[in-house]
Structure formats: structure tokens, C-alpha cells
Amino acid sequence: MYRLGIDPSKGWVFEDESVVWPTPVMSVAKFLGAAGKEVASSGLNREAPYYFREDSFDLVSRVRRGRFYKATGQSGGPWRVYPHPMVTFPHFQQDSDGAYKASGLTHYEPWKMSREFERQQVAEVLVRLGDDTASTLWQVIHLETGFTGEEIVMLKARQSFGALPAVDWSKVPESAVSAVREKLDTLEDEFHRAGVESVVDRAREAATAILSAYLQKEDIAKAKGEDLSKLVGLLVDYSGKHGRRVVACAGEIAARLHSRGKHAEQEARGVRELREQDAQLAVQCVGVILCDLGWAEWK
């Protein structure tokens, strides 16, 4: 396995005794469990304890292939590195044999995420790439060990565009525009950065605000303040068994997925834990409700 040294002042990446050219795509990485909390140790370098080194990216399938590295805590120790025809090291001291002493590097070593999360008994992990100002979420879809002993990881992007339909706010009841907009904005934000349980929770809140607004517009006063399950029941009573059936089913799915995130529900009913696909389904249910009520369209 090959260690990496990163020169923060120049942006160079060294792999053992060689500079990597062209400079690889290196993204700060964090690991989130279903509840959206970090599940890996913080590492020894607080600025960037983990990096994902991208080897390839398929734009069509939105799959990235690469390796993870973890900071070792060593910084400033000299490395012997050899020159590259495309890179010069004027600020490094050169030895008589042509090698340079590279100093001021931050050291990283290959990191096997499967071993760490197996030890922590974490079933599913989302990877957040980027910093707090701009980041994307990725699902781990494949792991394998290469001949160097490094773990090669394949990541698939969580859908970032088109997660929700385009809302025509003129069709949303005026009294509910603010509440519905707030819930949808929160859901969209959580979908791009949070864990599975948080996304499902926000989807349920959005579905509740939408159905409550619709039923109150239809002069069903007792819809005010009810939870999602009760609102689905009121919708069925109002529209009939087959009227607004898709909306009712979508609301019921969002409500049931939310309950599955609770430990008590898992123990009492023996239901499985939530997964990334469940979060995507919950968001799609909100989109279906909006479209079938005539408040939005898929673009």
C-alpha cells in the first residue's frame, strides 16, 4: 500500500517517492450513518482527516471509483521524492543523487472503510464529499481490494436535481404557501446533505403540511393540527376509496416509513431498518402528492 503526502502550499500530491501528475482529484470525506451523524473517528488532522482520491467518474451513471485515505498525524517530516519532467521543486533541497527532501507535507495512508464500519457494526454509510460550504452525498455500492492491498470503492451519487417537482405556487392555498414552502425547502436541503432517517422525517413533515393545506382548503376544519396518518384517513373519507387514491397511498407510505425509523417500531413489529432507497422513495412520495393535487409538475 502506498502512502500519500500532500503539500498544502502548492497543492501537490506525492505517492511515496513520486509526485502524482496530473494532480488527482482529492475530496474531503465524511461518513454518515442513517441518523445523519458521523460514524468514523475524527482522525488526527482536524482540517481533513479523510480524503477520497478519485480514479474515475462515469457522468452517465454518476458513479465515482477511487480510494480513501486517512491522516496519520505526521506533518512536516521530510520525504525523499524524485523530480518529474512537468514539475519543479525550487523550495525543496536536492540531494546529490537528484532526489529532493520534501518537507511540510501532511501524511495520509490508505484506509479500509469496510474494516472500520464492520468493527462499529454500522450497516449502511453515506459518504459526504466536500466541505461545509459545498458538498454532495454518495452511496457506497461496491468494495474490493486491489493487488496493492488498498480498498477500491465505488460511489453512486444521491440524486441532486429533480428530486422534487417544480411547484406552481399560484395553485397552493395562499394561507399555506409559507408553511409548505418552508417544509419543501427543508426537505430539499436535507436530501442533499443529511442521513436517511432525517430525510424520511422531513418528507413526512412536508407531506403533512401539503395534505393539511389541501383538506383545509376543502373546508375540512378538523384537518388542522392532525398528523399525517390522520390526514390520509380524512382524505379517503372526503374523496372516497378511489378518489385521490394515489395521493392517499403516497401519504401513507411516507407515514409508515417515518415510523420505521423508530427503534420501538423495529422491535415491536420486526420491520427492517431504513436504507438510502427508502429516503428516495419518501421524497418521491412528496413529489407525487404535489403533482396529483395539481400543485406541481415534473420537469
Among 164, 159, 193, 172, which Cα is nearest to 62's? 159
Residue 80's pLDDT band, with cuts at 50, 70 and 90, is confident
Measured distance between the N- and C-terminal CA atoms of the chain, rounded to whole angstroms: 46
Q: What is the dihedral of CA 176, 177, 182, 183, to 10 degrees?
A: 60
Burial class, 159, CB count within 10 angstroms (exposed 0-12 / middle 13-18 / buried 19+): middle
What per-residue confidence (pLDDT) applies to 45?
46
Residue 37 has pLDDT above 60, yes or no: yes
Range list of β-strands (E), the chain: 4-7, 12-15, 18-19, 25-32, 50-58, 63-75, 79-81, 93-94, 100-102, 106-110, 126-130, 135-145, 151-157, 166-167, 296-297
Task: Give the pLDDT confidence of 90-125 residue by residue, as tens digits.
Answer: 666 677 676 777 777 888 999 988 887 777 776 678
- Could you give the C-alpha distances from 70 to 74, 117, 134, in angstroms and in order? 11, 14, 21
Residue 8 has pLDDT above 50, yes or no: yes
